[in-house]
Amino acid sequence: MKPAAGKPGFLSNVLVRLLLFGVLIVILRFSYVVTLAGESCALGGFCFFSPSLNLAIAGTRSGSLNARSAVTESERYASKDWISGVQFYSSVFQNLIAGGFLSPASMSLCVETSTGRDVLALREVGITNAVGISKKASPPLVKYGEARRIPFANGTFDFVFVGEGALERSPRAAVFAAEVARTLKLKGFAAFHVKANDTYSFNSFVDLFSFCCNVVKINNVLGFDSSMPHIKELIVKKERHEIGSDSYSSSKGKCSAPDYKKQLVRNAEALIEEEPLKPWIILKRNVKNIRYLSSMVDISFKGRYVYVDVGARSYGSSIGSWFRKQYPKQNKTFHVYAIEADKAFHQEYGSKKGVTLLPYAAWVRNESLVFEINRGPGENVQGKGRGMGRIQPLQSSGVFDGGDVEKIPGFDFADWLKNTVSKNDFVVMKMDVEGTEFDLIPRLFETGAICLVDEIFLECHYNRWQRCCPGQRSPKYDKTYDQCLQLFTSLRQSGVLVHQWF
Ligand SMILES: *[C@@H]1O[C@H](CO)[C@@H](O)[C@H](O)[C@H]1NC(C)=O
Ligand SMILES: *[C@@H]1O[C@H](CO)[C@@H](O)[C@H](O)[C@H]1NC(C)=O
Ligand SMILES: *[C@@H]1O[C@H](CO)[C@@H](O)[C@H](O)[C@H]1NC(C)=O
Ligand SMILES: *[C@@H]1O[C@H](CO)[C@@H](O)[C@H](O)[C@H]1NC(C)=O
């Protein structure tokens, strides 16, 4: 039997040669694509082949600099990452050609491409008019440009590609989407690679593009690296020009939650069915069980991110201590609206960034109200010296027992909400309004404003057992625990994700 000692040496020799050959092919292929196929200046305002590269070849001073960077460039183009990326995108685009979404004549743009591998792949599969934009230009494939201001004229492209989850990473997905739509020709296609794969995010995506485009195809694609192992490929077609026609404001009155939202409600934590004997402990503890919407679904494809705190009291009481610290925000920046009628809390809001204070009481119409400052006798709330404010319309004043009253402006909260947020925004609301929830929530349903809210944290006020005085119910509220439970149940049955707040 002949010893096989020479074999591994021979094998690795062959492998090295093969590898070198592969690298050579890639470099040749790249220089072919860049130099011969690349001399297209057909794209408005942009020549794929930049003049400085011509100079480099002519051997001027700046040329020798460019030549050196060209060496490191070609090393990059030979790296494993680069090659597998180009191969991956080539197969993606070949499939899109086969599907009729892309053709060799398509003017094509890759938005926020980190490396330009997708641009090169486009050119390799025969689409000569392809260019990329990124915050970090890497000529000749990628020009400087940001998604929120794509540096091309309206209707320039037949095809726009957004890979690497760039749309969902964007802090302003709605602006990004509008820019893609703007630069797309009518009947043009845009393809997006996203990680998100739940029905909530899919519906948000559809809503984000509904002003211009229809989703025409969804593919599941196996990714080529660990950053996106499973890719959802969403293809939209531009059908309309109009921007900003908000279909929501035209639909007055009632609205109903779609099935995918009802499904989310079924996945939420259970409601506490039985009246707690120690509500001050049980309800507080329940916060740990809360299944936040943003821990169940991807909230990337939204316009603005908004938190409305109705009955905000001091900044630290829930905005600072809970929302800013604990609510899972998926890295999004939320704008906060603090609604608080009590003057004592107003001053500190002046210095808070990203917070708008509405120094009025949320109510069912615009009118003056009386506002109770001191807590009623026997109420033993955390002794901060400032009671919770109950409100009443002026006509029925005199209802309050003891305590000072103050006249304050109330406003139509449902109307305000409809004028402030849109269907595409992500809206979280906390409501702690001392019993006024039994007026505000029905009004939100009546006006359809309820459908603008994604998630509600609601404190329901009832004649609860008191910590101070065993066996005694709070005299401050006349609603019962059952009535509160009914309010929560009816919200959930309508597809509103509501949590019991304390
Ligand atoms: C380009 O499109 C945007 C949005 O569709 C529009 O507001 C703008 O007026 C258009 N610009 C030109 C020059 O047509
Ligand atoms: C997410 O994607 C995987 C594979 O692509 C699929 O099997 C799964 O059903 C998807 N989940 C949802 C909620 O769509
Ligand atoms: C959140 O955003 C920051 C800044 O844009 C980024 O550095 C970080 O990686 C992001 N984190 C996640 C989890 O997306
Ligand atoms: C209530 O007042 C606000 C602010 O003055 C106004 O914008 C809004 O239209 C009013 N709403 C109704 C229903 O009158």
Map 252-269 to HEC letters. Answer: CCCCCCCHHHHHHHHCCC
Q: Which ligand is nearest to the CA of 329?
A: 3
Indicate which atom in ligand 4 lies nearest the CA of residue 411.
Answer: 1
Sheet order of strands, 355-358 included: 355-358, 335-339, 305-310, 426-431, 455-458, 497-500
Q: By three-state DSSP, how is residue 168 classified? A: helix
Q: Whose CA is nearest to atom 8 of ligand 1?
A: 154
Residue 115 in tokens: 């490396």
Pick the CATH number of 33-241 from 1.10.530.10, 3.40.1180.10, 2.40.10.340, 3.40.50.150: 3.40.50.150
Q: Is 154 in the pocket of ligand 1 (CB under 6 A)?
A: yes
CA 451 – ligand 2 centroid, Å: 27
For residue 42, what pLDDT is reported? Answer: 45
Distance 331 CA to ligand 3 centre (A): 6
Phi, psi (rounded to 5 degrees) for 5: -55, -40
- CA-closest candidate to residue 74, choices 121, 128, 25, 137: 25
State the distance from the centre of ligand 3 to the C-alpha of 462, rounded, in angstroms: 42
Strands 455-458 and 497-500: parallel
Distance 102 CA to ligand 1 centre (A): 24
CA 160 to centroid of ligand 1, rounded, Å: 18
User: Which of the ligands is closest to the CA of residue 263?
Assistant: 2
Asked if 494 and 256 count as a contact pair (C-beta separation under 8 A), the reply is yes
CA distance 46 to 56: 19
Per the listing, tokens 């590609």 go with 161
Say if residue 140 is preceded by a cis peptide, omega within 30 of 0: yes
CB atoms within 10 A of CB 477: 18
Q: Is the CB of 230 under 6 A from ligand 2?
A: yes
Domain extents in the chain = 33-241, 253-500
In order along its 502 residues, the chain shows pLDDT tens digits of 444 444 445 555 655 565 555 555 555 555 554 544 444 444 444 444 433 333 222 333 333 444 445 556 666 777 888 899 999 999 999 999 999 999 999 999 999 998 899 999 999 999 999 999 999 998 889 999 999 999 999 999 999 999 999 999 999 999 999 999 999 999 999 999 999 999 999 999 999 999 999 999 999 999 998 999 999 999 999 998 865 555 444 456 678 889 999 999 999 999 999 999 898 888 888 889 999 999 999 999 999 999 999 999 999 999 999 999 999 999 999 999 999 999 999 999 989 999 999 999 999 999 998 877 654 444 444 433 344 567 776 655 455 555 567 788 999 999 999 999 999 999 999 999 999 999 999 999 999 999 999 999 999 999 999 888 888 998 889 999 999 999 999 999 999 999 999 8
Residue 67 three-state SS: helix
Residues 6 or more apart whose CB falls under 8 angstroms from that of 442 comprise none
Q: How far is the CA of 351 from the centre of ligand 4 (A)?
A: 27
Measured from CB, residues less than 6 Å from any atom of ligand 4 are 366, 411-412, 415
pLDDT of residue 373: 61
